[in-house]
Amino acid sequence: MPTEFNRPLAPEDWEIIRRSALFSRVPEETVRRMVEGGVVVSLPKNAMVCGWGAPADSCFIVIDGLVKVFRTGEDGSMAVLAIHGAGRALMLAEGLNGSPCSASVETIGASRVLRLDAAALRRKIAGDGRLAMSLLASAASHLRMLVAHIEELKTMTGPARLADMILNLAGVRSGSAQVTLPYEKQLIANRLGMTPESFSRAMSQLKAHGVTVSRDRLTIRDVARLRAFATPDC
């Protein structure tokens, strides 16, 4: 368990938060009030941010690095629910109504997160409808992500899910593209709901659809073609 280093919010961290998707449409003054009193926590790789079932007395905002949100079964199996980077909130809904953490969170690389006291946040919201609204918006986007995740799991095959993820990473509509896998393949595999072996085979299949792989760098020859494979109909 390596040491964690804490300090108050520095200007460059403030900029990251200010610009994040979560707050980009919220008045600056409102954001400032929300993060007031927060502490920046620096964490090494594989550090636990919070554990399932624990009281969520803090909320977090990722400033830097990547974290995985996951559940573990009694048998030690793990299901990755999401992987979050800068600007994403963690344990927001839980912290705000005093419920226990619904999942565990760990860093997957050296990261910095802003820790906010849940009780203080609650007080601020009670007095600021605008802040409440922006947090509700955050919850809504979180919900949409989970819903999309479930839909994927229920309706797409493994290789299709992988293709879909790669296309999202590429973020391009047509032509060719270069993508770098943002983290270990094992983790991606779990996030996509498959074993590392299946992941590897799925990747092989994509080679037949214009994807070349070298290490963690992918080249998509024709984005439209790959999309046609990921979403056969429509």
Size of the site for a copy of itself (CB under 8 A): 46
Four-residue CA torsion sign, 78, 82, 83, 89: negative
Closer to a copy of itself at the Cβ: 142 or 209?
A: 142
Q: Does 8 bind a copy of itself (CB under 8 A)?
A: no
Closer to a copy of itself at the Cβ: 40 or 156?
A: 156
Q: Does 119 bind a copy of itself (CB under 8 A)?
A: no
State the binding partner of 224 from DNA, a copy of itself, none, CB within 5 to 8 A by kind. Answer: none
- Taking alpha carbons only, the member of 147, 162, 145, 184 closest to residue 231 is 162
State the binding partner of 97 from a copy of itself, DNA, none, CB within 5 to 8 A by kind. Answer: a copy of itself
Residues that bind DNA (CB under 7 A): 157-159, 184-186, 193-204, 213, 215-216
Query: How far is 156 from 162, CA to CA, in rounded Å?
Result: 10
Dihedral pair phi/psi, residue 140, rounded to 5°: -65, -40
Spatial strand order of the sheet with 104-107 comes to 48-50, 104-107, 67-72, 78-84
Query: How far is 212 from 207, CA to CA, in rounded Å?
Result: 6
DSSP state of 210: T
Closer to a copy of itself at the Cβ: 120 or 213?
A: 120
Q: Does 96 bind a copy of itself (CB under 8 A)?
A: yes
Who contacts 119 (Cβ-Cβ below 8 Å, separation ≥6)?
Answer: 57
Give yes or no for a contact between 135 and 125, defined as CB atoms under 8 angstroms apart.
Answer: yes
3 state SS of 113: strand
State the binding partner of 93 from DNA, a copy of itself, none, CB within 5 to 8 A by kind. Answer: a copy of itself
Instruction: Looking at residues 174 to 203 of the shown chain, list those that interact with a copy of itself (rule: CB under 8 A).
Output: 193
Dihedral angle, C-alpha 42, 184, 12, 5, nearest 10 °: 10
Residue from 46, 119, 146, 216 binding a copy of itself (CB under 8 A): 146
Instruction: Looking at residues 10 to 69 of the shown chain, list those that interact with a copy of itself (rule: CB under 8 A).
Output: none
Residue from 155, 171, 197, 208 binding a copy of itself (CB under 8 A): 155
Site of interaction with a copy of itself (CB under 8 A): 71, 73-75, 77, 79, 81, 93-94, 96-97, 99, 102-103, 122, 125-130, 132-133, 135-137, 139-144, 146-151, 153-155, 193, 231-234
